Amino acid sequence: MPIKLEKIHEASIKILEKTGVLLDHPEILKIVKKHGIQVSDKVVYFTEPQILGSIQKAPASFTLFGRNPDYDVCIGGDTTVFAAGYGATFITDENGTKKNARLEDYLNFLKLVHQSDLFSVNGGLLIQPADFPVKELFPFLFYQSILHSDKCLMGGSDGARETQQTMDLLRICFGDRRHLIAQPRMVSIINSSSPLRFNRDSLDKLLIHAHYGQPALITAAVMGGTTGPVTLAGTIAQANAENLAGIALSQMIREGTPVAYGTQSTLADMQTGAYVCASPEHALCLRYGARLAKFYGLPSRGGGSKSDAHFVSAISGFDSMLTMLTTCVEKMNFVVLSAGILDSAMAMSYEKFLLDLQIMGMAKRVAKGVHIDDDSLALDAINEVGPGGEFLTNNHTVKFCRQERWPAVIGTRAAVFMNNHNDMMKWLQEKKTAILDAYRQPQLPGDVRSDMARYLTKIGFDVNNATSG
C-alpha cells in the first residue's frame, strides 16, 4: 500500500483549522496572536499557510556539540544518532526482579553510555533515582552528566524552574546565551498532551529552549483508542497535527530554533488501556513519522530498542529488534530509548542494555545496505575460483574479510554456545563489570566544576552530601 503522506497532511490541516489546539500559556497565546493566528478561549486555530510558513523557518538539520568535539553530531539527513534510556523508575535485575532505581544506577549508566562508541549523546533521565527528591532531581543529574561524560547532552527537566536551572548550568560550563545559540549543547523532549493540547510546563520549556537556541524534540505520543482515534490513520493524522503546531510555535518564539519532528505514537492495548511501546502498530507509526518529517524537510526523532516485556527474554529481543530495525531502516535522525528498556519504558536493565548494543549495531548494518562496485561484485575472484572451488584462501577474501562482515559489538556470538539462561546472565554481568572497570572520567576544569557545585548549593541542593563520582 502506498504511503499517502499528502492525505495525512490534508487531514492534519483540517484538524488544525477546525478543531484547533489548546495552548495553556498566556505568553504563548500573546505570541500566536501577534502572528495573526485565530485564538478562542485558549484554543488556537492554524491555517495551512500559517503552519507551512512557520515550519519552513526551522532548519533542515542542526549540529549538536559535545564538550569533546569528537562527539559533535549532525541531526538530520540520513544520519542516525542514539541516546540510551529515558525516564524509567525501576531497575530489572538478571532474575527479572524489579527494584527502585538509585543514583548509583544512574552513574553506572552514564559510564556505560560513555564507554560505547554507538552513543554520541549522554545524560538526561537515563533512569529516575528514588533516593532524591523529585523537585531537586534533574539539575543534579545534569551536573552528574557533565562530570561523567564529555559527549553531547540530553535534557530532561520539565517546567520553567528546572529548565532555567539547566540552562544556568550550561552557561557556567560553555558560555553565555550567544555561545549556546551558536553551538547548541543539549537536546530535550517537548511532548504534547494528547489529544491536541500543550500544557504549561511543556510550553515553558519550549520558550526557554528557543530563547537559548537549544534543540527541542517536539513529540506527540498519541495512544490510539485512548488519547486518539483507534485507527492508525487517525492516530497518525492527529499526532501530525500536534507536531506541526508545536514546531510552528517554536519558530514563532524564535525563528531558526532547531527542532525535530518526534514520533512516539502507538495503539493502546484495548483490553487494559496500557501504553504499548513495541508492536507492529508502533513500528508503522515510526515509519510514517520518519517519512512525514522528510516530507516537511525536518529532522526526525523516534524509535529505539523498546520492549513491553518485564524481563530479558526472547520477547524482549524480538520487540527491540522490531522497533530498532524500523528506526534505522527509516533513517530516523535522533533516537531516544535506544538501549536497556523493559516494561513499556518503566524499567531499565543492565543486561538488556548490553544486548541492545548488539541490536543497534545489527540494525545500523542492515540500514547501511550493500556497497556495489567492480571490487565488491568480485567477478575476477569468482572466475578465478571457478566451479567447485573455494574462496577461503582467495586473495579477494583476504582483502575484504575484515571490512565486509559486521563485527559483533559486545561479542555476543560467543554466547550462542552457552548452555542456559543463567550462563548468559552471568556472562553479561561480567561484561558490565569489565566495561565499568575500564571507564575513566573525562577531565573537567576545576573552576567549572566548583562553579556548578556552588550554583547547585545556591538553589538548594547540598552537593557535598551527595555521591558525585
DSSP string, 263-279: E--EE--TTT----SSS
Query: β-strand 197-198 against 334-335: which pairing, if any?
Result: unpaired
Residue 459 has pLDDT above 70, yes or no: yes
- The dihedral through the CA atoms of 266, 272, 274, 279 has a sign that is negative
Identify whether the C-beta of residue 205 lies closer than 8 Å to the C-beta of residue 158.
yes
pLDDT of residue 348: 98
| Planar angle of CA 271, 277, 278, nearest 5 degrees | 95
Average pLDDT over residues 243-253: 98
Residues of the chain above pLDDT 70, percent: 96
Domain boundaries, the chain: 62-231+255-368
Strands 81-82 and 334-335 turn out to be parallel
Res 216 pLDDT > 50: yes
Question: Which pLDDT does position 196 carry in this prediction?
Answer: 98
**What is residue 413's predicted lDDT score, i.e. its pLDDT?**
60
Chosen CATH of 62-231+255-368 out of 3.40.50.300, 2.60.320.10, 3.40.50.2000, 3.20.20.480? 3.20.20.480
pTM of the model: 0.95
How far is 30 from 24, CA to CA, in rounded Å?
12
| pLDDT value at 434 more than 90 | yes
Per-residue pLDDT at 466:
62
Q: Among 113-127, 235-249, 329-343, 450-464, whose mean pLDDT is lowest?
A: 450-464
289-320: per-residue pLDDT in tens?
A: 999 999 999 999 999 999 999 999 999 999 99
Contact between 216 and 157 (Cβ < 8 Å): no
Give the type of residue at 74: C
Neighbours of 382 (CB within 10 A): 14
Q: Is it the case that residue 72 has pLDDT exceeding 70?
A: yes
161-175 confidence digits (pLDDT tens): 999 999 999 999 999
Q: At 64, which helix (H) or strand (E)?
A: strand 62-64
Of residues 353, 437, 442, the one with CA closest to residue 146: 442
Taking all residues of the chain, what is their mean pLDDT, rounded to a whole number?
94
In sequence order, the β-bridge partners of residue 369 are none
Q: At a CB cut-off of 8 Å and minimum separation 6, what does 449 contact? A: 147
**pLDDT higher than threshold 60 for residue 57:** yes
- pLDDT tens-digit profile of 26-55? 999 999 999 999 999 999 999 999 999 999
